Structure 1
């Protein structure tokens, strides 16, 4: 993985390169970012750059023996740790290393859902267990085989529970020429003792323009569709790629029609929508709900008189303007967002989609037609 293969993040790339050029690479770093920003590929490219035998001022060479092994994730001094789903055959991360490498070779922009789909996870909980911590200590205690610097990249240290304290000594006093790169999404879920021993590198979200250009160039989408997807992705390239892969791409109009059916109390039409939504598949259902949440937030800006801040593409903007003028108010938008967020939470946990979308549809009727709001809604009075 070379820096040139990573989408955007030019400032962070230069910052990482400078730490190598100026010989001030911190031995324990935490790459902190939202999902889909490229933090994991950045960590891999950084490690490859550090160990490249013929690096240049802008990137690793990509052709030396070290780079060739890094490109296939088989360098003997590159180690990975990540959440996994323990079973009688899977005790530590290396037991599923082949699956991990295949996933990264396919696309290094990954999240836990993608990783789960590569494994026989069933309903098991992912974690980084004490056996994995002991294995990390063991393999980092060995001398480097080829490289000047041994590297451990730990993806999602949030899944380290109190067992992670067993790593504190080796992180604080590592063997010579050992580099720890932790890649995380949620700082609040990381052990405070671990945080205090790392240098935090904050990775910003990708801009809408960066994602839009990527979709236009790589997926050959039209400007309008790419703009729509980049808005929905909200800086998450994984999300943008998922949307691009879907044939279902008229979320704005479908979501607006769902609201209209709720406003009109058109129960037979709502039931027909429920049947349609139940057949989309879990990822499409999640994407639709996320779109609805973002769409309603943009509607709230229109209702509040801040239309200049709205980022919707032209067709979706026209739909949002009509709904904001004739159907919605701020209280309704807030209440519906709450319902959609709860629905998204339950879809992720394998709720029955038919029952779930029926329940949300009935809640829409109560909120829009009868102005009955669920408990916990933040009311806004004009």
Structure 2
């Protein structure tokens, strides 16, 4: 992975390059950025640049033996750690390394949900277990095979839990020429003892323009559609890719029919949509539908407040949000968005979809049809 292959982040790339040129490479760094921001790809490109045998001014050469092995993720001094769904207590990241290489090479911007879909995860919870922590200590205690630096890239250290304590001494006092590159999305879920031992590298989410241009140039998406997807994705390339994979009008049509049933309190139709359609989408598609719905409601908020210049939707979707903005209030929209976000959280934790979406629908009926706000609602 070379820097030139990663979308955007020009200033950050230059900063990383300068740390190598000025011999200021910290032995433990935390790449902190939201899902789909390319932080994992950046960490790998940084490691490749550090170990490149014929470095260019602004990138690795891409042709030396080290770069070729890095491109295939098979360099003997490059190690990965990541959450996995253990079938046995002795399973480590190495158990799933072939699946990992395939998933990353196909999509270097992947999310945990995308990674989960590559495995037979069933209902298991992702984690980085104690066996993995011990395996890391064992691997990094060995001498380098051929590169100047041994590198461990740990994706999502949030899933270490208390097992991370076994790595503290190694992170604080690693063997010579050993680099820890931790790639995280949520700082609040990382052990403070690990954060205090790392140098922070902040990775910002992509701008609307950067993501839109990526979709046009790299994915061949028509400009209007790329504009719409970029808005819905909110800087998350993984979400944008998921949107591309979806039928273009599928979520929109489902959302319109669902909301029409809600605002008219069509009870039997609500039950039918929840049971026969939404609950059968599958967990990842349910999450996409909820995110799409949240973003459409945010567009309605903008129209409701007269901020027409910030609205990106086009054609039928724009017509829908214009009409809906005329029959609702800011207070209702804020409450509905909060409900949808909480439902998204519950879907991630494998709640029963039929019960979950029926309950959400009934709460929205009370909100939009009868102006009844749920107890405990916080208003802005």
Same fold (TM over 0.5): yes
Q: Where does residue 106 of structure 2 map in the other structure?
A: 106
Give the 3-state SS of the residue equivalent to 2:277 in structure 1: helix
Q: What aligned pairs does 1:70-219 form with structure 2 within 5 A after superposition?
A: 70-88=70-88, 90-219=90-219
Superposition RMSD in Å: 1.9
Q: Is the 8 A contact 1:219 1:244 kept in 2?
A: no
Alpha-carbon distance, 1:250 to partner: 5.0
Q: Where does residue 353 of structure 1 map in the other structure?
A: 353
Q: What is the TM-score with the length of structure 1 in the denominator?
A: 0.93
Alpha-carbon distance, 1:53 to partner: 0.6
Alpha-carbon distance between aligned partners in 2 of 1:207 and 1:91, rounded to the nearest angstrom: 39
| 2:25 is equivalent to residue 25 of structure 1 | yes
Alpha-carbon distance, 1:314 to partner: 5.5
Post-superposition CA distance 1:17-75 (Å, at most 9, x none): 11111111111100000000100111111100100111101211111100111011110
Q: Where does residue 265 of structure 1 map in the other structure?
A: 265
Q: Is the 8 A contact 2:33 2:184 kept in 1?
A: yes
Q: Does the C-alpha gap of structure 1 residues 161 and 347 become closer, same or farther in structure 2, counting only changes over 3 Å?
A: closer
For these two proteins, the number of residue pairs brought into alignment is: 379
Post-superposition CA distance 1:88-114 (Å, at most 9, x none): 275221121121112122222212112
Q: Does the C-alpha gap of structure 1 residues 272 and 219 become closer, same or farther in structure 2, counting only changes over 3 Å?
A: farther
Q: What is the TM-score with the length of structure 2 in the denominator?
A: 0.94
Alpha-carbon distance between aligned partners in 2 of 1:138 and 1:93, rounded to the nearest angstrom: 13
Alpha-carbon distance, 1:151 to partner: 0.5
Q: Is the 8 A contact 1:253 1:316 kept in 2?
A: no
Q: Where does residue 35 of structure 1 map in the other structure?
A: 35
Post-superposition CA distance 1:122-165 (Å, at most 9, x none): 22222212222222112111111100111010111111122212
Q: Where does residue 234 of structure 1 map in the other structure?
A: 234
Q: Where does residue 328 of structure 2 map in the other structure?
A: 328
Give the 3-state SS of the residue equivalent to 2:288 in structure 1: helix
Alpha-carbon distance between aligned partners in 1 of 2:163 and 2:360, rounded to the nearest angstrom: 40
Q: Where does residue 299 of structure 1 map in the other structure?
A: 300
Q: Where does residue 343 of structure 2 map in the other structure?
A: 343
Alpha-carbon distance between aligned partners in 2 of 1:67 and 1:143, rounded to the nearest angstrom: 20
Q: Does the C-alpha gap of structure 1 residues 214 and 149 become closer, same or farther in structure 2, counting only changes over 3 Å?
A: same
Give the 3-state SS of the residue equivalent to 1:152 in structure 2: strand
Alpha-carbon distance, 1:257 to partner: 4.2
- Uncovered stretches (5+) of structure 2, i.e. residues with no partner: none
Q: Where does residue 49 of structure 1 map in the other structure?
A: 49
Which range is displaced more, 183-192 or 126-135?
126-135
Alpha-carbon distance between aligned partners in 2 of 1:19 and 1:313, rounded to the nearest angstrom: 44
Q: Is the 8 A contact 2:90 2:131 kept in 1?
A: no
Q: Where does residue 3 of structure 1 map in the other structure?
A: 3
Give the 3-state SS of the residue equivalent to 1:54 in structure 2: coil
Q: Is the 8 A contact 1:208 1:235 kept in 2?
A: yes
